[in-house]
Amino acid sequence: MMRWTDRKSEEEKAAPARGPASRTARYSGAWSTLRKRLESEPGLRVIDAGATSPSNINYLTSLGHSVYMADLVSDACTGDWTKGNDEAGNPIWDAPAYLAACLDFSGKKFDIVLLWTTLDYLPEPLVTPVVQRLHDSMNPGGAVLAFFHTRTQGDETVHCRFHLTRGDEVEVQVGEHFPIQRAFTNRSIERLFTGWSGHRQFLAKDALSEVLMTR
């Protein structure tokens, strides 16, 4: 579920119960660009949509930002958000209930969203509602950092958590085991974010595509 924090002391509360997996540094052009904004504009409101990262909280709050934690994939995959099945036996997802529980901001508006690979792992009926809720909850000119897998098979599709650094890299760490649901094409990303004012794509050498969306 959601959690709001603006204090570095959250590190002890947020520490995972199990031993941490190793981290691998990965250059990110999108993060390099977004980091410059975070370092030059204090007092921003940030949503981190991945698994809780104490280092992310500490880094962002040290710059004077407030951080809202929302582990969207874990909440979607481990919560009970269905209301029966359709005629073919497929689950009927209750998107409004999921949004009310996981993305209810009580009228707050945000400037930055660290979406990571969330959209690759969400059940299909939740993808568009999540993007729309983010659009409605952001200030004009706000930015969404999103990573998209370019394929659905291979070691690179393992669900991971991401940790910010003070340089141009993010640290990647294997997270909970959630199966990848889809790989987005450039065209499908554009369709999903229809109505946003623009986007910038960054080339990467691995199986991830990086995008900065502008509200």
Element counts in the chain: helices (H) and strands (E): 8, 12
DSSP string spanning 28-72? -HHHHHHHHHHHHS-S-EEEE-SS--HHHHHHHHHTT-EEEEE-H
pLDDT for res 15: 41
Predicted confidence band of residue 188 (pLDDT cuts 50, 70, 90): very high
pLDDT for res 1: 53
Segment (H or E) for 157: none
Task: Determine contact, residues 55/164, Cβ cutoff 8 Å.
Answer: yes
pLDDT for res 12: 38
pLDDT for res 153: 92
Q: Is the pLDDT of residue 20 over 80?
A: no
Q: How far is CA 170 from the centre of its chain?
A: 13
Taking residues 49-62, report their average pLDDT.
95
pLDDT in tens, 111-141: 999 999 999 999 999 999 999 999 999 999 9
Largest CA distance in the chain: 54
CATH number, span 24-214: 3.40.50.150
pLDDT for res 79: 80
Average pLDDT over the chain, rounded to an integer: 90
| CB atoms inside a 10 Å sphere around CB 125 | 17
Q: How far apart are CA 167 and CA 180, in angstroms?
A: 28
Q: How far apart are CA 213 and CA 141, in angstroms?
A: 9
Sketch the domain layout of the chain as residue ranges: 24-214
Q: Which residues contact 143 (CB under 8 A, 6 or more apart)?
A: 34, 37, 111, 112, 113, 212, 213, 214, 215
Q: Which residue has the tokens 């109505």?
A: 195
Helices assigned H by DSSP within the chain: 10-14, 29-40, 54-62, 72-78, 95-102, 118-121, 124-136, 186-192
pLDDT in tens, 133-154: 999 999 999 999 999 999 999 8
Taking residues 167-171, report their average pLDDT.
96
For 89, the 3-state DSSP assignment is coil
Share of the chain above pLDDT 70, in %: 91
